[in-house]
Chain A
Amino acid sequence: MSELPLIELTHLQAMALFAFFTSLVFSFLTKYGWKERAKYFLWCFFLFMAVGVGLGWLMYPFPY
């Protein structure tokens, strides 16, 4: 069988999807109660995005 049809995403979209699903699993693995899970999910999601964008800016001056 050949490969699946490929989808196109921007880097930011891919990062946001990664952050969303990973944060969701982390919040359900480590917290009880919907309020605590929601708070932890939002915090994880924010950190994933902030660290990703921050590291991107830090690496910007360096050639690859």
Chain B
Amino acid sequence: MGEAEAKTTATPGTARPSEARAPATPAEVARGVLMGGLGWVLPGLGHLLLQKFDRAAVFFFSVTAMAGLGLAMGAKLYPLSFDRSQGMFVLLLHLLGFLGDLGAGGYYLAARWAGLGENYMPRALGDYGTVFFLCAGLLNLLTALDAYDIAVGKKE
């Protein structure tokens, strides 16, 4: 099987790459970054502008629900902090948590601006809420990368 054939052959139903094509032009990359960035700010917006309506709706609904549920459970959002008083390991965990939360894009910025998620809730559901919001951020990053791939022609 040739390399080009291998690239275009995929398991039925799996997300398949587009036909073998030339590397993306700078204009395509810029469009991809724009679509990915918009998808990061508001989940599904990049897909909406790329006319992938089903994915846009599902990503918006899912990420919004997870972020909202997380906050409603009592999530503690990670702020950007370089406090080393608890050691480097805790600092690293906090920075990773911040990056994950930041993946929720506009929702994270809006929640921080509104003062949500500032207090730690001493209950199990509060910890679950923190994980919900974190996963909403990580899923949103995946969807933003998906929008980028579609915009540059790597995916259909």
Contacts and interface: CB of A to CB of B under 8 A. Distances in A.
Interface of A: 1-9, 11, 14, 17-18, 21-22, 24-25, 28-33, 35-37, 39-40
Contacts of B15: 29-32
Contacts, number: 83
A36 B8 CA distance: 18
A34 B143 CA distance: 18
A28 B13 contact: no
26 contacts: A3-B74, A3-B118, A4-B71, A5-B72, A6-B73, A7-B69, A9-B125, A11-B124, A14-B73, A14-B128, A17-B69, A18-B128, A18-B132, A18-B135, A21-B66, A21-B139, A22-B66, A22-B139, A25-B58, A28-B55, A29-B15, A29-B142, A30-B15, A31-B13, A32-B15, A36-B13
Contacts of B132: 14, 18
A57 to B, nearest CB: 18
Nearest to B47: A28
Interface residues of B, number: 36
B125 A28 contact: no
Interface in B120-156: 121, 124-125, 128, 131-132, 135, 139, 142-143, 146, 156
Given A4-B71, A6-B73, A7-B73, A28 B135 contact: no
B27 to A, nearest CB: 25
Interface in B16-75: 16, 54-55, 58-59, 62-63, 65-66, 69, 71-74
B74 A1 contact: no
A51 B87 CA distance: 33
